[in-house]
Amino acid sequence: MEKLSTQPYKGTRDFYPREMKLRNWFFGKISDALKTACFEEYAGPMLESLELYAAKSGEELAKEQTYNFTDRGGRDLAIRPEMTPTVARMVAGKLGELNFPLRWFSIANMYRYERPQRGRLREFWQLNVDIFGCDTFEADLDAIRSAVSVLRAFGADETMFRVHINNRRFFNDVIATIAGTDAETGKRVSKIVDRKNKIPRENYVKDMKELGISDEQIEQIDTLYSMNVKDATAICPNSVGAAELSALFDALEKTGLSKYCVFDFGIIRGLDYYTGTVFEVFDEAPENNRAMFGGGRYDNLVGLFVKNTGISGVGYGMGDVTLENFLVTHDLIPDIDADRTKVLVTRFDDVPLEAYTALVDALQDAGIPASVFLGNKKFGKQIDYAVKEGYSHVLIMGGSEHADGTVKLKNLATREELTLKKEELAAHFGA
Amino acid sequence: MEKLSTQPYKGTRDFYPREMKLRNWFFGKISDALKTACFEEYAGPMLESLELYAAKSGEELAKEQTYNFTDRGGRDLAIRPEMTPTVARMVAGKLGELNFPLRWFSIANMYRYERPQRGRLREFWQLNVDIFGCDTFEADLDAIRSAVSVLRAFGADETMFRVHINNRRFFNDVIATIAGTDAETGKRVSKIVDRKNKIPRENYVKDMKELGISDEQIEQIDTLYSMNVKDATAICPNSVGAAELSALFDALEKTGLSKYCVFDFGIIRGLDYYTGTVFEVFDEAPENNRAMFGGGRYDNLVGLFVKNTGISGVGYGMGDVTLENFLVTHDLIPDIDADRTKVLVTRFDDVPLEAYTALVDALQDAGIPASVFLGNKKFGKQIDYAVKEGYSHVLIMGGSEHADGTVKLKNLATREELTLKKEELAAHFGA
């Protein structure tokens, strides 16, 4: 019979124990940092109604970038490509019971139908952090603060990353002021600016001109890309977006976060649903300088589900692959196996199995990871097994030790070996 | 515009923070118990090639019970309905590097296309535990031992659950001995026995007779359902399965596990791939007496991927809903929020935001969950918020406290309130 392939589906990953340990370490760090900041964890289903994405994430993402199909009941479904529509649905579903403002996060897997490439897989895990029910800059500040806390939890500092911040409302007002564009044209300008670093300069200029932006206006817009927030906001003093930006940067300064942040007029964020503050976190490493993740404010997303809720949101998503690249680049991944106690009870034929499982029980009851070697290999092979599997110690109990109630404990790192009474075992490990 | 539904897709669940806390508590307990038994965690992709399930899980499960579709590259895919084919694929994929025997587990979500009913949802989470590369009863013993450890970790004892154990090889030998059936007929008999408790007695008898089993033989088989392992194995003294059963039950006795276990000739397990020991764990509660989960030995599953590996496996899967029902039935779910410190820093208009975020920083840096109230509600409303969100304490710093560098700390449970210097805060919580 034809053998099946052992490869995972294209663009997905198998997590063997080694990779899984790393993943658990990642997610544990993130989760601890966010819980310390009083964010609460939630989760939603992998399958959602396709319309959830068609409605707000843009047609492209919904139809082309998702795995979608119709179930036997005729429902159009998609494997979630992002978490935001799900969390907006959940918030809308319990508006009456929920206690706003909410600080929520989730760490969940998503699927996007795209050509796999560095940092962009078809199945990826993503941290999603959102604050619902606070309209002021304070929520934007708290969201950005949480992103900084997460990166700092891994030992990252201001030399390693930078939060680039802009404001959609402000962007539109500035473009309108400079080029006299209407809302729709302003939106199309934003799409071009969003692609700015991905396309040649001449295409950028050509696209802008097609929207009626003159060379002079293009130059004016260019100056904004390197402008600080004070000079930029001065261009539209009466813009609501400008006021939001000023308040946010003032608070970043006063709360000690400004060293991690910078104003960047070129930050747009692709998704249509952002309305105010938008930000992207960049890796500052020269060899890896790129946007790692980002987010922003989407005031009317919950409104898709319930009429005039007035529930606003601000949040961001961070992919696991991007984070891993960042940590590797900055050498922030320690030996997560170091000084971990794990005891293998080795076996000899002249001692009954139950004598060995009794030792395992004593250690496990004391919370010390322990197991008995399965099978009957030679002693040397059992030691090899223990070393390969990352056991820190082996217990040795031959017929003579069994007879006089002792065991030999060997530390595989130091090779130190000592003889203990069985009842001293757990205590030896401080349990 | 037509509003979208806030309901999750039929048969799936939203996990709001309250449910998520419970889920994390569940999975944390399970994970700790298994890691203490030296099982290592792994994970695989949600999407797998459909043939993985068609090949061994039986046609029904693969075609009817899975969500399956074809991707744009013409690949037939399924959202995984179970983990075993994935883990077998992963083991086969790294045969050379892996260090056998392996003790592996995963806690992952699965999708099955079926009519949602109590304890059977379309999206569910399942613990999967497997041991690969040990052919003897010792692996079966270790797998059963781990299942008992997981349930005991929640405080369950032998009055609450029982492991019902049988052996496929033994079953086939017994049926052949009693009814002279060939292997194929024996397999069909096992399907009927597997349905025994789900169909009326007359159908059971009718189906057996259609396979040429006589009334007398049916009666003989009936006696086995209440027989102990000694009497049962005596029927086929030379059966390999009988020897496996005897060795397993002898070891269960000697290692103190027999009080949790019982021989049960009626245990088959639906899936085709089991070859030896099979077991099901039953809830002993009269009002909820039913099989909760089970597993068994599948010696040739890795062989689907690689020729003559000789890698055997034994494992089981446990669904999250079933486990939750069990814990609720036996009142084994504690108040997981009890004595959890979480501090809300309340605000007054006459104190600047940064004075409050400084308090939050001090607490968070000491690892104490803390946050500042977002927005400017009246003090009473901020207290209500803290209570509803499960904060244990609120910090109160008005203009006067701010001026003399103190804060009031109020314990929301005891209503006790005391005044502290700012720098004493973290220390007060033992940090």
Nearest to A146 by CA among A254, A260, A274: A260
Question: Is A124 within 8 Å of A319 (Cβ atoms)?
Answer: yes
**Cβ–Cβ of B71/A113 closer than 8 Å?**
yes
Contact with chain A for residue B429, Cβ under 8 A:
no
The residues, any chain, with a CB within 8 Å of residue A385's CB and separated by 6 or more, are A344, A373, A377, B99
**Phi and psi dihedrals of B419, rounded to 5?**
-100, 130
Label residue B119 by pLDDT band (50, 70, 90). Answer: low
Helix (H, G, I), strand (E, B) or coil at B130: strand
What's residue A351's pLDDT?
A: 95
Other beta carbons less than 10 A from residue B30's beta carbon: 22
Q: Is the peptide bond before A101 cis (omega within 30 degrees of 0)?
A: yes
Other beta carbons less than 10 A from residue A401's beta carbon: 19
What residue type is assigned to position A49 of the chain?
S
**What single-letter DSSP state applies at residue B57?**
S
Q: Which residues of B touch A24 (CB under 8 A)?
A: 41
What's residue B57's pLDDT?
A: 62
Q: What's the mean pLDDT when you consider all of chain B?
A: 93
Q: Which residue has the higher pLDDT, A18 or A271?
A: A18
- Segment B21-43 shows an average pLDDT of 96
CB pairs under 8 A between A and B: 245
What's residue A119's pLDDT?
A: 59
Label residue A271 by pLDDT band (50, 70, 90). Answer: confident
Q: Which residues of A touch B391 (CB under 8 A)?
A: 38
CA atoms of A81 and A112, how far apart (whole Å): 5
What's residue B179's pLDDT?
A: 93
Q: Which residue has the higher pLDDT, B80 or A3?
A: B80
Contact with chain A for residue B300, Cβ under 8 A:
no
Q: How many CA atoms lie within 13 A of B391 on its CB side?
A: 31
**Phi and psi dihedrals of B299, rounded to 5?**
-65, -25
Interfacial B residues in 31-50 facing A (CB < 8 Å): 35-38, 40-49
Contact with chain A for residue B260, Cβ under 8 A:
no
CA atoms of A248 and A244, how far apart (whole Å): 6
What residue type is assigned to position B121 of the chain?
L
Judge whether residue A1 has pLDDT over 60.
no
CA atoms of B88 and B302, how far apart (whole Å): 5
Q: Which residue has the higher pLDDT, B116 or A12?
A: A12
What's residue B339's pLDDT?
A: 67
Q: List, for residues A97-127, the tens digit of each pLDDT value.
A: 999 999 999 999 999 987 766 657 899 999 9
Nearest to B359 by CA among B300, B405, B297: B405
Quote the minimal CA–CA distance from A209 to chain B in Å: 34
Q: List, for residues A79-92, the tens digit of each pLDDT value.
A: 999 999 999 999 99
What's residue A62's pLDDT?
A: 81
Helices and strands (H, E) in chain A, number of each type: 16, 16
Q: List, for residues A177-232, the tens digit of each pLDDT value.
A: 999 999 899 999 999 999 998 999 999 999 999 999 999 999 999 999 999 999 99
Judge whether residue B1 has pLDDT over 60.
no
CA atoms of A109 and A125, how far apart (whole Å): 4
Full DSSP string of A32-53: HHHHHTT-EE-B--SEEETHHH
For A131, nearest residue in chain B (alpha carbons): B374
Order of strands across the sheet that contains A406-411 = A370-372, A343-345, A393-396, A406-411, A417-421
Judge whether residue A130 has pLDDT over 90.
yes
CA atoms of A300 and A273, how far apart (whole Å): 8
CA atoms of B20 and A41, how far apart (whole Å): 6
**Reported pTM:** 0.93
Q: What's the mean pLDDT when you consider all of chain A?
A: 93
- Segment A255-264 shows an average pLDDT of 97
Buried/exposed A184-193: b ≥16 CB within 10 Å, e otherwise:
ebbeebbebb
What residue type is assigned to position A401 of the chain?
E
Select the residue from B3, B6, B67, B252 to test the A interface by mutation, using most A Cβ atoms within 10 A: B6
Contact with chain B for residue A93, Cβ under 8 A:
yes
Nearest to B82 by CA among B261, B267, B274: B274
The residues, any chain, with a CB within 8 Å of residue A304's CB and separated by 6 or more, are A55, A56, A85, A88, A92, B3, B4
Q: Which residue has the higher pLDDT, A309 or B261?
A: B261
Label residue B171 by pLDDT band (50, 70, 90). Answer: very high
Which of A116-130, A170-184, B82-96, B131-145 shows the lowest per-residue confidence on average (mean pLDDT)? A116-130
Helix (H, G, I), strand (E, B) or coil at A249: helix
Other beta carbons less than 10 A from residue A94's beta carbon: 11
What's residue A335's pLDDT?
A: 86
What's residue B308's pLDDT?
A: 66
Token match 């194995």: residue? B233
CA atoms of B255 and A353, how far apart (whole Å): 8
Q: Which residues of B touch A123 (CB under 8 A)?
A: 45-47
Label residue A58 by pLDDT band (50, 70, 90). Answer: low
Order of strands across the sheet that contains B393-396 = B370-372, B343-345, B393-396, B406-411, B417-421
CA atoms of B211 and B209, how far apart (whole Å): 5
Which of A268-282, B114-128, B139-153, B229-243 shows the lowest per-residue confidence on average (mean pLDDT)? B114-128
What's residue B115's pLDDT?
A: 72
Q: What angle do CA A78, A82, A85 make, to 5 degrees?
A: 80
Segment (H or E) for B203? helix B201-210
CA atoms of A237 and A176, how far apart (whole Å): 13
Contact with chain B for residue A352, Cβ under 8 A:
yes
Buried/exposed B118-149: b ≥16 CB within 10 Å, e otherwise:
eeebbbbbbbbbbbbbbbbbbbbbbbbbbbbb
Q: Which residues of B touch A342 (CB under 8 A)?
A: 38
- Segment A274-297 shows an average pLDDT of 93
Label residue B55 by pLDDT band (50, 70, 90). Answer: confident
Question: Is B217 within 8 Å of B174 (Cβ atoms)?
Answer: no
Other beta carbons less than 10 A from residue A57's beta carbon: 21
- Segment A344-358 shows an average pLDDT of 95
**What single-letter DSSP state applies at residue A162?**
E
Select the residue from B98, B357, B368, B394 to test the A interface by mutation, using most A Cβ atoms within 10 A: B357
Q: Which residues of A touch B7 (CB under 8 A)?
A: 93
**Cβ–Cβ of A375/B20 closer than 8 Å?**
no
Interfacial B residues in 186-245 facing A (CB < 8 Å): none
**Cβ–Cβ of A138/B353 closer than 8 Å?**
yes
Q: How far is CA B109 from CA A302, B122, B321, B379, in A?
A: 27, 10, 12, 43
